[in-house]
């Protein structure tokens, strides 16, 4: 089995454009969530601070070209991750993920402000069209695929990319995901009565629900042989991964977090690590009543009295849906590179009295990070990243 290295990262979110701006905001405990008027309502969201026209200008895409915001965000992050990579005879794949796809354009077709029926607004509706657009714009890929498993989508894309390299099918894989804010998803979460009318508070006794965000993030995964050919250096090692499903409810997880328990245990086994060797957990932590209590129960069941430091970073970005696992994979790698653990901001009354919840960003020896991503239907994925030696 081949070892899987991370050699590139790219990210776009409400924290800013690129990994440098992102780390600066995380380290300073500055959230990208703000109350704004969107789709005719005042709402707390994590919005990328660039219009579509500005994104197209930055990407040198003609203004008259109709491109989904999801694709624009994805392309910007993918290009940062991909950097100056060239094909060079390497077997290369692209695994993308999304839940929204081109919904931001499709909604415009039905808008009362749309005076002309423009069928071009539907051309990027399908999730696969977003993937193909990014793939054509970034590189020459021998295999292109799209994963959509709700909020664990990007984590599953990373896992799939790791499997392709580990088993020798490909040398290098670009993995991640993208989603733009849409009225459809906002109203969907509001209909479930889990959208907070104030800044979200993960793992707080008085949490009232999540805030949505938008963004994109990608990782370049490579084998050792690929790095020799590409000249890239490792940023981290993707040491373990696992997916499990508790199949408890269509939109919630079991109170005990059985699926989350299994995914964490299997990821630890895959990585060959004992529970005492995990230094930090980047939790899924959506700030909904069900998720936070269920995830905490799962972590306590797996780690017992050895629960590592953990936090949710969704109060920084909002819940970005499909790409959440990729954004948080980037955060995990930044934690490894800088020996930091990131604050669980906006938490006044923790639901956990163990003292493991990180309330302030702090210097901490961080050699291993476990990152959790859980989706509707109980689709649970855990990834483990290790410092590159």
Residue 141 confidence (pLDDT): 96
What residues are paired with 383 via a beta bridge?
241, 371
Residue 70: name the closest of 163, 174, 146 by CA: 146
Q: Is 111 a residue whose pLDDT tops 90? A: no
Positive or negative: CA dihedral 317, 19, 129, 226 = negative
Percent of the chain with pLDDT over 90: 89
Cα distance between residue 243 and residue 383, in whole Å? 9
What does pTM read for this prediction?
Answer: 0.97
Cα distance between residue 165 and residue 177, in whole Å? 19
Domains for the chain: give ranges and CATH numbers.
5-230 (3.40.47.10), 239-387 (3.40.47.10)
CA atoms within 13 A on the CB side of 285: 31
Residue 96 confidence (pLDDT): 98
Q: Is 93 a residue whose pLDDT tops 80? A: yes
Residue 115 confidence (pLDDT): 60
CB contact set of 88 (below 8 Å; sequence gap of 6+): 229, 230
Residue 169's SS3 state is coil
Q: Give the CA distances from residue 115 to residues 13, 160, 361, in Å, rounded to whole numbers and listed in that order.
A: 32, 43, 50
pLDDT band at 215 (very low <50, low <70, confident <90, very high): very high
Residue 12 confidence (pLDDT): 98
Cα distance between residue 297 and residue 247, in whole Å? 17
Q: What does the mean pLDDT of the chain come to?
A: 95
CA atoms within 13 A on the CB side of 198: 7
Residue 376 confidence (pLDDT): 83
Q: Is 389 a residue whose pLDDT tops 90? A: no
Q: Is 355 a residue whose pLDDT tops 80? A: yes
Which pair of tokens denotes residue 169?
A: 């099918």
DSSP state of 204: B
Summarised one tens digit per residue, pLDDT across range 36-49 is 999 999 999 999 99
Q: Is 117 a residue whose pLDDT tops 70? A: no
pLDDT band at 307 (very low <50, low <70, confident <90, very high): very high
Cα distance between residue 144 and residue 140, in whole Å? 10
pLDDT band at 2 (very low <50, low <70, confident <90, very high): confident
Mean pLDDT of 64-92: 94
């Amino acid at each position: 089995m081949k070892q899987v290295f991370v050699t590139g990262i790219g990210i776009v979110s409400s924290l800013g454009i690129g990994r440098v701006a992102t780390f600066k905001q995380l380290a300073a405990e500055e959230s990208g969530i703000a109350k704004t008027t969107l789709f005719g309502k005042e709402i707390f969201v994590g919005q990328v601070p660039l219009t579509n026209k500005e994104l197209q200008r930055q990407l040198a895409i003609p203004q008259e070209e109709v491109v989904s915001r999801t694709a624009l965000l994805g392309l910007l992050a993918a290009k940062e991750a991909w950097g100056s990579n060239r094909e060079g005879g390497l077997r290369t794949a692209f695994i993308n993920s999304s839940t929204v796809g081109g919904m931001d354009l499709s909604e415009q077709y039905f808008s009362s402000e749309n005076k002309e029926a423009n069928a071009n607004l539907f051309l990027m509706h399908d999730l696969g069209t977003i993937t193909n657009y990014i793939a054509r714009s970034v590189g020459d890929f021998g295999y292109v695929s799209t994963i959509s498993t709700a909020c664990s989508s990007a984590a599953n894309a990373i896992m799939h990319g790791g499997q392709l390299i580990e088993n020798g099918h490909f040398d290098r894989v670009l993995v991640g995901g993208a989603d733009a804010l849409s009225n459809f998803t906002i109203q969907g979460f509001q209909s479930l009565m889990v959208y907070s009318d104030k800044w979200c508070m993960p793992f707080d006794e008085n949490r009232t629900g999540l805030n949505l965000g938008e963004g994109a993030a990608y990782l370049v995964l490579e084998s050792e042989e690929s790095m020799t050919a590409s000249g890239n250096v490792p940023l981290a090692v993707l040491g373990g991964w696992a997916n499990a499903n508790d199949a408890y409810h269509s939109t919630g997880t079991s109170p005990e977090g059985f699926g989350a328990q299994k995914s964490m245990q299997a990821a630890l086994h895959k990585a060959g690590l004992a529970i005492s060797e995990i230094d930090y957990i980047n939790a899924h932590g959506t700030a909904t009543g069900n998720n936070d209590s269920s995830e905490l129960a799962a972590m306590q069941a797996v780690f017992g009295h050895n629960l590592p430091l953990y936090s949710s970073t969704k109060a920084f970005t909002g819940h970005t849906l499909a790409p959440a696992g990729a954004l948080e994979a980037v955060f995990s790698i930044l934690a490894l590179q800088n020996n930091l653990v990131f604050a669980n901001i906006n938490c006044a009354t923790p639901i956990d009295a163990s003292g493991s919840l990180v309330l302030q960003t702090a210097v901490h020896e961080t050699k291993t990070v476990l990152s959790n991503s859980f989706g509707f239907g109980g689709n649970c994925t855990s990834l483990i990243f290790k410092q590159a030696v």
